[in-house]
Structure 1
């Protein structure tokens, strides 16, 4: 007898100009109520590619896992809203998450081997996704899985279907994960450090693949990375995070041409982006504040060479600069032009 298939709840029909994702005033705590993400707000348009950048520990992954409903057991959304194409995900039921994840919302993470079952062939894992989420027959799931492996650039996709994860290279494993993530035509794909562990050649191929899949599948992309150079090649907009806060946002072209926050400028000092040729290694002095540390004023001030007394009292709001740009700096007027 065929396996029963759970029919997902139909997605709301959004307007043509409505964002695919809206995150508003998101606050996430971990451990003993230590606030790790502070009032984060952003949106992603349909078909848009957005980069979320910052150092390790800046809150990027916790923000993404909140959107995916995959916070660690010690993590909790304190307040805020997460809306995917009209569906409210904050406090959503298990059934809603089961309907959304893997169908309307896909994800690819850094360590591909950790997300593939070593005891099952990769083809079986993709075909199972298609059977459970799309209701395909065994034969149709096999056929579609082979097609998807071909779409993501795997040579001999039929042969790959029958291989186990350990028989594939890291780049091939990542392509398998991408195939699984896009198999049900998601509205949004979250790629969290998806190319970090790969060599530069494979990294470029994966980024090119993500760009092609955006065009062929019409999906939106949230690319999470610590590397501004990767975002410069891939994304239309940038969100810069530091110590759990968004400190700057805007179009990729504008932010890289005229950074308005000292932290963005510091990140650019260790990346090869356009005319920002790295001649010698730059280091941001000091360390980010500990998770949950209560700091008056700007959280970057202790490490900022432009800091003044005005930076140590606060809080410092995220200021709308117009034309889609914003920055969280107490000395915006003083530093305008000094960071370029």
Structure 2
């Protein structure tokens, strides 16, 4: 009997995650995905789709009104696995900035304006890695050089307000990787940067992945960023993952109407050669109850079956899934040609 192929080691596994916010409104529901060791995964969707809440749950940084109602979040596998759902503060202290690093959209808001950036990085190395003052200083300068900061020894003594947005993002990346994490979560880390600096930061993340064996969860609304940087894509809408799979396959042959709609408003290698489309309507509000597909009110293919009840995830094989009643397992069938279930 042939043996089953060995599954790659998992860095993060999220199963049936459900998150509620103020007044018990459900903002994320039935979210499941895994990130393999060394894999780069893009999480995409419109603002309000639940991307950031999902990431903050994995970091234990939900807002005061948010809570995980159901599901599991597990970091690592085997003997190194840590259950993060309901974890104590002592567990999170060992995980955050240790096994998981994070980079966010506005780096200045995550740095203390009254302390030099070097002091802030060195302090983390002293607390998390137990380095002495001189060793922490030297390692900080090395990290600043590794993330591409010119004159890293000089940057060590500068304050956040003295650095540009791109330099601040590099500082935050240096802090995020300083304790050799297994997973780096980059939540809209390039959104506020101009296109040149954005390209440099994305190139830096790719280089750091290769150098440190990092897994990467890249959260963005920009499909072009995912196409350039991620091996696999998760498409999120209305608090659910509606499609997933290898990036080139999903973007080359989208199987969910929402993914296809996102492709219509994206600029991936064809800027100026076509007229961008508009997705009609608005995404559902957090906690808005809907009997069937949450995209149905905006979908040009919606039918009665789409509103009959919750839409399950269909396994398309080869690592692809879609949450659509019109989805078939035939790769030759497009969304518009599929037969209603």
Looking at structure 2, the residues matched to 189 and 205 of structure 1 have their Cα atoms a distance apart, in angstroms, of 17
Deviations 1:53-112 (A, max 9, x none): 000000000000000000000000001000001111111110000000001000000011
Looking at structure 1, the residues matched to 307 and 70 of structure 2 have their Cα atoms a distance apart, in angstroms, of 26
- Structure 1 runs of 4+ aligned residues shifted over 4 Å read 274-278
Report the TM-score when normalising by structure 1: 0.93
Which of 204, 216, 219 in structure 2 is aligned with 1:221? Answer: 216
Looking at structure 1, the residues matched to 46 and 210 of structure 2 have their Cα atoms a distance apart, in angstroms, of 29
Aligned counterpart, 1:28: 19
Contact 2:327–2:335, Cα closer than 8 Å, also in 1:
no
Q: 1:22 to 1:121 in 2, by over 3 A?
A: same
Aligned: 1:123 with 2:118: yes
Q: How many residues align?
A: 326
Aligned counterpart, 1:10: none
Moved more, 274-283 or 83-92: 274-283
Q: How far is the alpha carbon of 1:167 from its aligned partner? A: 0.1
Contact 1:271–1:278, Cα closer than 8 Å, also in 2:
no
Which of 191, 196, 204 in structure 2 is aligned with 1:196? Answer: 191
* 1:184-333 equivalence runs, <5 A: 184-274=179-269, 279-333=274-328
Aligned counterpart, 1:18: 9
Deviations 1:117-174 (A, max 9, x none): 0000000000001000000000000000000000000000000000000000000000
Moved more, 159-168 or 280-289: 280-289
Aligned counterpart, 1:133: 128
Report the TM-score when normalising by structure 2: 0.93
Looking at structure 2, the residues matched to 108 and 275 of structure 1 have their Cα atoms a distance apart, in angstroms, of 29
* Alignment RMSD: 1.6
Contact 2:301–2:336, Cα closer than 8 Å, also in 1:
no
Contact 2:235–2:259, Cα closer than 8 Å, also in 1:
yes
Aligned counterpart, 2:47: 56
Q: How far is the alpha carbon of 1:281 from its aligned partner? A: 2.5
User: What stretches of structure 2 of length at least 5 have no aligned partner?
Assistant: 1-5
Contact 1:259–1:339, Cα closer than 8 Å, also in 2:
no
Contact 1:123–1:145, Cα closer than 8 Å, also in 2:
yes
Aligned: 1:97 with 2:92: yes
Deviations 1:162-212 (A, max 9, x none): 000000000000000000000000000000000000000000000000000
Looking at structure 1, the residues matched to 51 and 62 of structure 2 have their Cα atoms a distance apart, in angstroms, of 12
Contact 1:265–1:339, Cα closer than 8 Å, also in 2:
no
Aligned: 1:183 with 2:178: yes
Q: 1:253 to 1:16 in 2, by over 3 A?
A: closer
Contact 1:109–1:194, Cα closer than 8 Å, also in 2:
yes
User: What stretches of structure 1 of length at least 5 have no aligned partner?
Assistant: 1-14
Aligned counterpart, 1:12: none
Q: How far is the alpha carbon of 1:235 from its aligned partner? A: 0.1
